[in-house]
Homo-oligomer: A and B are copies of this chain.
């Protein structure tokens, strides 16, 4: 096999979910692309890796010291939504239903993977709260054991912050889900936290 082809296939196969077969298909696509387009793609990859920063306030990915959300004066700074990772910010932003700011933890507490509270950006959150102005903290973490552990840990740490309302996003049956496929814990929780039909 050609060394150049072997090389690009080997490199692309390092990406998650990309085996040698898929890598070869990607390489063939690159071959059909205009050299300038390939240049743009590789430049975007390098620039992203070399110049991306973390927002000093919320730990979101950012091009500048403050991310666009933290820098936006129209956002409500008194409400902070705590998420695990950057893509959760994008998911919530896509709903267009939230006008507060975010705080990206960078993971959840997971003793199995050796991730403890000190590996997450919890101190930065407490610093932000200590600076004043934050009235509500919404925990929007996964409903996994790790996520729930993190919710428990953070809510304990926040209990000492006076005047800050702490909540988690609602757990229940998702829209479009069939009750049939929901697990007992979810159904039990959804029953318990039933809401009045207006």
Task: Give which listed residue, B22, B30, B51, contacts A45 with CB less than 8 A.
Answer: B30
In the assembled complex, A41 has its CB within 8 A of some CB on chain B:
yes
In the assembled complex, A115 has its CB within 8 A of some CB on chain B:
no
Question: Which residues of B sit under 8 angstroms from A52, Cβ to Cβ?
Answer: 2, 4-5, 31
Q: Are A63 and B16 in contact (CB under 8 A)?
A: no
In the assembled complex, A62 has its CB within 8 A of some CB on chain B:
yes
Task: Give which listed residue, B8, B26, B38, B87, contacts A28 with CB less than 8 A.
Answer: B87
Q: Are A11 and B40 in contact (CB under 8 A)?
A: yes
Q: Are A24 and B87 in contact (CB under 8 A)?
A: yes
Binding site for B on A (CB under 8 A): 1-5, 7-8, 10-12, 14-17, 22, 24-31, 33, 35, 37-52, 60-63, 67-68, 85-87, 90, 93
If A24-B87, A42-B45 are given as contacts, then 17 extra A-B residue pairs at C-beta distance below 8 Å, sorted by A number, are A2-B52, A2-B68, A4-B48, A4-B52, A4-B63, A11-B41, A11-B44, A11-B45, A12-B45, A14-B41, A16-B25, A27-B48, A28-B86, A30-B45, A35-B49, A41-B45, A42-B43
